[in-house]
Structure 1
Amino acid sequence: MERNMDDMNFNILRLGHIEYFVDDLSRSRDFYVDAVGLFETERDERHVYLRAIEDREHHSMVLTQSGTPGVGAIGFRVSREEDLDQLARKFQARQLPMRWLQPWEKRGQGRTLQVQDPFGFPIEYYATKQPVESLLQQYHLHRHGCPTRLDHVNVLMPDAQAGYEWYTRELGFFCSEYTQSAPPDDHVYGAWLYRKPTTHDLAVMTGPGPTMHHAGFSLMEPMGVIRACDALAAAGYADNIERGPARHGISNALFVYVRDPDGNRFELYTGDYLTVDRDQPPKRWELDNPRRQSLWGPPPPRCWFEESMRVTSLATGEPQPVQAPTTRAIPLYVE
């Protein structure tokens, strides 16, 4: 895929944060801190700001009080303030809905550009966040699965081929692995895209959208998956464990999927690989190869295939309308 280098004068570094809407802020805070093992940076009347042990920024997850669960924003960090202005010019030329947020509108976060991407996802770009102490070597504070960072998000859209082309051609993402139908169709039905040197910051999948399947948190080592399950079960959340432990073919991740008290889904995983050599061709998976979705492990429940999280409209603040796939959906192979 040829990149559009003419106006790619910006540098997106990595996924920075995710915002989940929750009904009971205190209950959700206790779930993510006491049962999952994230750390609270601060809170106000409507938000709780959380981070993982490697984070040196104010937050990588925001819980926002709302009567409707779902996703408020997906945040990406850029390398400098000028990148925000370059992105704004690019989005304005394409007539995408966008607005600027000042630092006082996002606690702990610098100037922020909000945009509804061409597929309806609410994306935030920022260059700075308030620095905080890394907890990496505060071993006496580590608990349960010990999430190290927010690693990726997995989203559904009616045509993943279009999402793949937008994020690689226009925003400079690289592809580590993808699923594609056989010739002569040769259509991309899912792609794992990255800016940081791991398998993905963003996965785009064909399905009803715009919706989000999950956010993924990286763990330090494989036993963290088991400890996370033990901690969730001991805290009374055994039924919130939706799928796993098991291992994906795509990304090689050892994982467990969990639903929070509002039904928002997240993944705890470990075992993917580095993608430092960006000239390395991405790995292609046949559309009908079941090993890409599950290298081993029990079959997922039906809800894992069929349920995803609504995302917010910047214009209305309400959930975005969901459209059916324009190409043949492959929900059995969502990662």
Structure 2
Amino acid sequence: MLPPVNLRPSFNITRSSHVRLTVADLAESRNFYVNVLGLVVSDEDERTCYLRGLAEACHHSLVLELDEEGPGRSRRIGFRVFLDEDLDLAYAWFRERGLPAEWVDEPYQGRTLHVSDPIGTPLELCAHMETRPRLHIDFASYKGAHAQRLDHYQTFAPDTYELCAFYGELGFRNSEYLEHGDKLLGAFMYRKGTCLDLAIIENSGPALHHFAYTVSESHDIFTACDWAGIQG
């Protein structure tokens, strides 16, 4: 049995938005995401690279941040909220439940809120982001797999049912699920008009398993594999 879904949540999350990663080698990571996956650089400096898919107008869906001291890791997974006032409602909602919530300044975004879910997954909420031209018909810009837009995240959690219930309270619905007997092992949840924004799989967590971009054609996936072989 799946936990209930709140169809009128206290604040309105609309979709998966962006992910922040730390990387040990910014140049090599940039090379992979640009030449293998085909993402576009929106802005960059010596320590940070902001990337987006070809069909994305928002400034970034992936942020690479240099950290020479340790292995790459996920810093935050981001969700977009509908209105700026939803951020204030979210701040109050998390604080009332004893969960972390703090305001931060992030380049190229409007007001930004850092929160965490009950198992400690670091989340980032924003309502606005600077825009850049979409490049989905600028075929001269195409490289690698021609990644179009960020689609979803998959995370690990020690108890899938409990975390599914938490995100259900935030209005996330289930498109599919995995169970064994009466135990929920996997929940595939969405807010935007596709089947998935967040997948939760039972395992040691919190941890980010992967984030995924859509491509236009199935052969683009094979192109990414070919490019990865060349780069390797």
- What range is the shorter-chain TM-score in? over 0.9
- Per the TM alignment, residue 2 of structure 1 is displaced from its structure 2 partner at its CA by 3.0
User: In percent, how many aligned pairs have the same letter?
Assistant: 38
Q: Which residue of 2 aligns with 1:230?
A: 226
Whether 1:213 and 2:215 are equivalent positions in the alignment is no
Question: Given the superposition, is the C-alpha separation of residues 199 and 3 from structure 1 closer, same or farther in structure 2, using an over 3 Å criterion?
Answer: closer
1:192 aligned to which of 185, 188, 192: 188
Letter in 2 for 1:71: S
Q: Which residue of 1 aligns with 2:5?
A: 3
Take 2:204 and 2:57, find their aligned partners in 1: how far apart are those partners? 35
Task: Give deviations 1:283-314, integer Å, cap 9, x for gaps.
Answer: xxxxxxxxxxxxxxxxxxxxxxxxxxxxxxxx
Q: Which residue of 1 aligns with 2:199?
A: 203
Residues 101 and 114 in structure 2, CA contact (< 8 A), matched pair in contact too = yes
Q: Which residue of 2 aligns with 1:121?
A: 121
Q: Which residue of 1 aligns with 2:53?
A: 52
Q: Which residue of 1 aligns with 2:62?
A: 61
Whether 1:86 and 2:89 are equivalent positions in the alignment is yes
Q: Which residue of 1 aligns with 2:130?
A: 130
Residues 36 and 145 in structure 2, CA contact (< 8 A), matched pair in contact too = no
Letter in 1 for 2:30: R
Q: Which residue of 2 aligns with 1:324?
A: none
Residues 101 and 116 in structure 2, CA contact (< 8 A), matched pair in contact too = yes
Report 1:1-335 matches (<5 A). 1-4=3-6, 8-66=9-67, 67-68=69-70, 69-101=72-104, 105-168=105-168, 170-182=169-181, 186-236=182-232
Task: Give deviations 1:130-171, integer Å, cap 9, x for gaps.
Answer: 011111111121122110111111000110111111101x10
- Please tell me the root mean square deviation across aligned C-alpha atoms, in Å: 1.3
- Per the TM alignment, residue 5 of structure 1 is displaced from its structure 2 partner at its CA by 5.7
Residues 4 and 165 in structure 2, CA contact (< 8 A), matched pair in contact too = no
Letter in 2 for 1:226: F
Task: Give deviations 1:165-194, integer Å, cap 9, x for gaps.
Answer: 1101x1000101001122xxx121110000
TM-score (norm 2): 0.94
Letter in 1 for 2:73: G
- Give the number of equivalent residue pairs: 228
Letter in 1 for 2:154: N
- Per the TM alignment, residue 44 of structure 1 is displaced from its structure 2 partner at its CA by 2.2
Take 1:145 and 1:198, find their aligned partners in 2: how far apart are those partners? 21
Letter in 1 for 2:204: P
- Per the TM alignment, residue 114 of structure 1 is displaced from its structure 2 partner at its CA by 0.3
TM-score (norm 1): 0.66
Secondary structure at the aligned position of 1:147 is classed as: coil
Task: Give deviations 1:225-255, integer Å, cap 9, x for gaps.
Answer: 111111111222xxxxxxxxxxxxxxxxxxx
Q: Which residue of 2 aligns with 1:289?
A: none
Take 1:235 and 1:74, find their aligned partners in 2: how far apart are those partners? 27
- Per the TM alignment, residue 4 of structure 1 is displaced from its structure 2 partner at its CA by 4.1
